[in-house]
Amino acid sequence: MAPVLAKARQLDIATNSAPEALFESLAAGFNLWCTPEDHPKGWDGVPLIAGTFSKPCGFVGTASWKWDDDRIVAVSLGTDAYDLADRRPQIFSRTVGKDWINIHNRPEDLEWAEQKIRWLFAQAGLSYPPIIVE
């Protein structure tokens, strides 16, 4: 997975302002960030700020390696749309009946993140392993 992490470092949102730079390399995976121009469904109009990054962005999720002994067998993916909860609390920070409107692993966020993971692996010249939602 070294080529994937090297590509994620090259496309690090903290230092690279290119539109496709949406990643934050970690020791055993990477975080995925969205921008006002490239985001999951449902994020339209959500105000995002740059903070210490190269452009306005919002955290979408984390992809990490899933191990079987000493072999990577899959990518583990989890998403948390914190900016939706923070910026649209009337929709995403409340309950309906007994059900909490969940920002964890929203289908729209998972779909977008999976597309970005596949794209990153292709940019690194590797086929991607199965993606397992955690």
From first CA to last CA, the distance across the chain in angstroms is 20
Four-residue CA torsion sign, 45, 48, 56, 119: negative
- Torsion of Cα atoms, 29 then 34 then 38 then 39, to 10°: 100
Higher-confidence residue: 130 or 93? 130
Residue 64 forms beta bridges with which residues?
29, 76
Residue 60 has pLDDT above 90, yes or no: yes
CA distance 64 to 32: 11
pTM of the predicted structure, to 2 decimals: 0.91
The number of domains in the chain is 1
pLDDT of residue 103: 84
Higher-confidence residue: 97 or 42? 42
Other beta carbons within 10 angstroms of residue 62's beta carbon come to 18
Residue 99 has pLDDT above 60, yes or no: no
Four-residue CA torsion sign, 72, 21, 37, 126: negative
Q: What is the pLDDT of residues 64-88, one digit of tens each?
A: 999 888 888 999 999 999 998 888 8
pLDDT of residue 86: 86
The confidence band for 101, taking pLDDT boundaries of 50, 70 and 90, is low
Q: What is the pLDDT of residues 14-43, one digit of tens each?
A: 999 999 999 999 999 999 999 999 999 999
Query: Which residue range is the domain that position 103 belongs to?
Result: 2-133
